[in-house]
Amino acid sequence: MSEKISGIFTPHVVPLDNDGEINEPEFRRYIDWLIEGGVHGLYPNGSTGEFTRFTPEERRNIVRIACEQAAGRVPVLAGAAEANVRETLKACEAYAGYGARAVAIVAPFYYKLCADSVYAYFREIAVNSPIDVTLYNIPMLASPIEIPTLRRLAEFERIVAIKDSSGDLSFMMRMITAVRPDRPDFSFLSGWEAILVPMLLVGADGGTNATSGVVPELTRMLFDLTRGGKIDEAMKLQYRLLELFDVMLFSADFPQGFRAAVELRGFELGTSRQSITEDQKFDRAQLQHLLRCILADFGFVAPPEDACPVRENNPERHQSRQIVDGVMNELRGRGLV
């Protein structure tokens, strides 16, 4: 039996050259840096990697490079979402041949489907895939994977995990309650790092977190602190990472903020395939200035020569603290901590 999927998997960006093509040498250098920074696994062709902006052939090339460069040092969870089941299964076959640990497949998008249709889609993949499958629930962009559907799909041995990007803590708890008693090998991954510590506390096995592509050292530290029971230290770091996450997520069209931050860590990413206006180019420069200020706080980059703006506390941080306190009180009441 393959090892259970757990830890922090990085849905990484893809460097491009001056012609807008995949910059393979820089991509390989970036992968080495992520692994050296402590990530538990790689997640090519995720949302952060802008998989929809590459051709099917390019997506296969991205996974091939990731698997080759990882060379077994960390597992690869390859995004295999295509427009239909046939193309998705072709991707599954290719990625199995490259040596990926598993694939991640988003529920059908564009068309809004009922629960039975979502089940039928994944059932066909589960029956025919040559590689383990991670379900990807992202209800803001695709048909939701509801808990009764998840319970039915968990009956297939080939389906081994779910990545949930809803950010709903109670939904994560309900999924775990519904599936784990019968499938202790089944993995639960959070795609919303703003409350990663609470997710881990209620039983999630890890996360697929874009911030790990910028500060892999810190996301690994957060995971280790939480698993080690050092909750206060973990939450201090969670608060600090939340500021970085919010700036990258909300200050530009996703994932441009993350690309801007990765560049500050020393990588040439080139221009994204998403066209931008001149005003957006100016805004991106301002964003990178703010990101430099935040990363300088951690000692990862030199601070800008001009002054950094005053950064106010985000009220969401206090909400995050309340969530953690509630989780810890519940766990103490059950005698689990």
Catalytic annotation, residues: 136, 163
Cα torsion angle, 45, 206, 99, 132, sign: negative
Token pair of 29, please?
């250098």
> In 3D, which of 226, 201, 196, 181 has the Cα closest to residue 334?
201
Q: Which two tokens stand for residue 64?
A: 């091939």
d(CA 295, CA 287): 12
Strands 132-137 and 159-164: parallel
Residues 6+ away with beta carbon under 8 Å from 310: none
| The dihedral sign for the CA sequence 253, 104, 164, 119 | positive
Q: How far is Cα 287 from Cα 91, in angstroms, rounded to an integer?
A: 36
Which tokens hold the place of 185? 């090998």
Instruction: Check if the beta carbon of residue 9 is closer than 8 Å to that of residue 188.
Output: no
End-to-end CA distance of the chain: 30
Cβ-proximal residues to 231 (8 Å cutoff; 6+ apart), any chain: 197, 201, 225, 324, 328
Backbone angles phi, psi at 195, to 5 degrees: -130, 45
User: Which of 148, 152, 207, 201 minimizes the C-alpha distance to 173?
Assistant: 201
Q: Virtual CA dihedral for 43, 46, 28, 188, nearest 10 degrees? A: -10
Find how far residue 27's CA is from the centre of its chain. 18
**Beta strand ranges found along the chain (DSSP E):** 7-10, 41-42, 77-79, 102-106, 132-137, 159-164, 187-190, 206-208
